[in-house]
Each structure stands twice: as structure tokens, then as C-alpha cells.
């Protein structure tokens, strides 16, 4: 059974940092692109970033460029999102997803709240 | 960036009837070498992550009931839900995976 499990969310002050993790199981982790998608409270889905199989290709939405960094450790079946200089508008549930003809598997999400 | 625009924002359909949701991309999302449109449809119920329904605009994901169908090409796409069931109440999103950022539509809320 394919599973993606996020962790690392929480409450952080504006300007602070947080690192999200996503551990995958039940599939060949090093063979798929992976994405982070977020959803602000009561709002729609927003694609944040994705990364290719070996981590050499990384892409971001403009609003997080220079502040967020996506990375992966295939030996640990893990995907990461390092989030710096956090803003109130980054408050959202952050989902990791496997990209395989659409995003076919999603984690349950990790809530990030940016507030003083 | 490719802008994805869904219509309507919300709709109410009776049980057993048909629901139609449209999605328009601001530019073609055709992957020409495979002649496939890089368009996916998702269903999201409250408190749950999105669920992939359709990819390549018309290919149903494994396990998805055949009441769900996708169509369209180029810039105009449609998700059709036939014989609407109570469990189909959800928000539906389209997403293009042709160019980064892989943008989503704003969502369509389907009610009974």
C-alpha cells in the first residue's frame, strides 16, 4: 500500500522557519517526481514546488522562490520542504504528493500556522 | 504561468442526474510528442486530501467509478459525473501539469 506521511508542521512567528518532512512507503520512491501542494484555510489548492527523481531538478511557485527549498533523500524515502522567512499568507495545510500521471497519492497534510 | 479557470464556481444537481464542470486553460496543455493533454481532475471532500479522478484529460484512475468521465483537448476540458450519488458531494479541481507552476483551477463546489 502506497503511503505518504507528512510531519513538522506547527505554529511559527512571522519571519521564522520550519522544515516539513514526508516519508513515503509502498512504492519505488526514487522513481517518481514529488510535489508539495498547500491549501489555506477555506481556500483552494495551490501547487508550491516539485522535484525530480534524483533531486537535480527543482521548481517553485513565484510566491515562495528564495524562501522555500524542496529536497529529497532517496535513501531515507523522504521529501522535505525547508520554509524560511515565513509570512502570514503561508498559513495552510501542506500536502506532499507523488506525481505519476497526475498526483495519484497524497499525504494527509501538515498544518503550518504563521502568527504572532 | 498557465491560468486555469473553472466554471461554474458551484452547482447543485439532483440525485441521479448529470453534473458538468468546465475547465479552461490560458494556453494549450497538449504534450505533443504523445498527443496527450496534461490535465488532471481531483475530488476533495471536507477534511481529506484531494483524490485523483482523471489524468491525461480523459483516463480514469484505477478504482474510480465509470460515472466519472473527462473530455476535451487543447484549452477546454470537461468533467462529467453521470447518475449523481450522494457521496459525490465535494469540491472538484482541475490541474495542468504541462508547465511549472502546475496550476490548479479555483475549484467547483458540487452539492445535491
The verdict on a CB contact (< 8 Å) between B93 and A44 is yes
C-alpha torsion A42→A48→A50→A56, nearest 10? -160
Residue B93's alpha-carbon distances to A27, A60, B45, B60, in angstroms, are 25, 20, 11, 15
Write phi, then psi, for A71 (nearest 5 degrees): -155, 170
Residue A30 three-state SS: helix
B67 vs A102: CA distance, rounded Å: 19
Which residue in B47, B48, B58, B102 has the most chain A C-beta atoms within 10 A of its own C-beta, making it the best mutation to test that interface? B102
Q: Are A114 and A14 in contact (CB under 8 A)?
A: yes
Task: Answer whether A95 touches B (CB < 8 Å).
Answer: yes
pLDDT digits (tens, 9 = 90+) for A71-92: 999 999 999 999 999 999 999 9
How many CB pairs below 8 A link A and B? Answer: 60
The verdict on a CB contact (< 8 Å) between B107 and A44 is yes
Residue A106: partners with Cβ closer than 8 Å, 6 or more residues away: A4, A37, A95, A96, A97, A98, B49, B50, B51
* Closest residue, chain A, to B40 (C-alpha): A102
B26 vs B45: CA distance, rounded Å: 27
Residue A88: partners with Cβ closer than 8 Å, 6 or more residues away: A14, A114, A115
Task: Answer whether A102 touches B (CB < 8 Å).
Answer: yes
* Residues from chain A contacting residue B36 (CB–CB below 8 Å): none
* Closest residue, chain B, to A60 (C-alpha): B101
A57 vs A33: CA distance, rounded Å: 9
pLDDT digits (tens, 9 = 90+) for B2-56: 999 999 999 999 999 999 999 999 999 988 888 899 999 999 999 999 999 999 9
What is the reported pLDDT for B29? 92
Q: Is the pLDDT of residue A35 over 90?
A: yes
A37 vs A95: CA distance, rounded Å: 5
pLDDT digits (tens, 9 = 90+) for B80-103: 999 999 999 999 999 999 999 999
A5 vs A48: CA distance, rounded Å: 17
Amino acid at each position: 500500500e502506497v503511503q505518504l506521511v507528512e510531519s513538522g508542521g506547527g505554529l511559527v512567528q512571522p519571519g521564522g522557519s520550519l522544515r516539513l518532512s514526508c516519508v513515503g512507503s509502498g512504492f519505488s520512491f526514487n522513481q517518481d517526481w514529488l510535489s508539495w501542494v498547500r491549501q489555506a484555510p477555506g481556500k483552494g489548492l495551490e501547487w508550491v514546488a516539485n522535484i525530480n527523481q534524483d533531486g537535480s531538478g527543482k521548481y517553485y511557485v513565484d510566491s515562495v522562490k528564495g524562501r522555500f527549498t524542496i529536497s529529497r533523500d532517496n535513501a531515507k524515502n523522504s521529501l522535505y520542504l525547508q520554509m524560511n522567512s515565513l509570512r502570514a499568507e503561508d498559513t495552510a495545510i501542506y500536502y506532499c504528493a507523488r506525481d505519476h500521471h497526475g498526483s495519484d497519492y497524497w499525504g494527509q497534510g501538515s498544518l503550518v500556522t504563521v502568527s504572532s | 504561468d498557465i491560468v486555469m479557470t473553472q466554471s461554474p464556481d458551484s452547482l447543485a444537481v439532483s440525485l441521479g442526474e448529470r453534473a458538468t464542470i468546465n475547465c479552461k486553460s490560458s494556453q494549450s496543455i497538449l504534450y505533443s510528442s504523445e498527443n496527450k493533454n496534461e490535465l488532471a481532475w481531483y475530488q476533495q471532500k471536507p477534511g481529506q486530501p484531494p483524490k485523483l479522478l482523471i489524468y491525461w484529460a480523459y483516463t480514469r484512475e484505477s478504482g474510480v467509478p465509470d460515472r466519472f468521465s473527462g473530455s476535451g483537448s487543447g484549452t477546454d476540458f470537461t468533467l462529467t459525473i453521470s447518475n449523481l450519488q450522494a457521496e459525490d458531494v465535494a469540491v472538484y479541481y482541475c490541474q495542468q501539469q504541462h508547465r511549472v507552476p502546475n496550476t490548479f483551477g479555483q475549484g467547483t463546489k458540487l452539492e445535491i
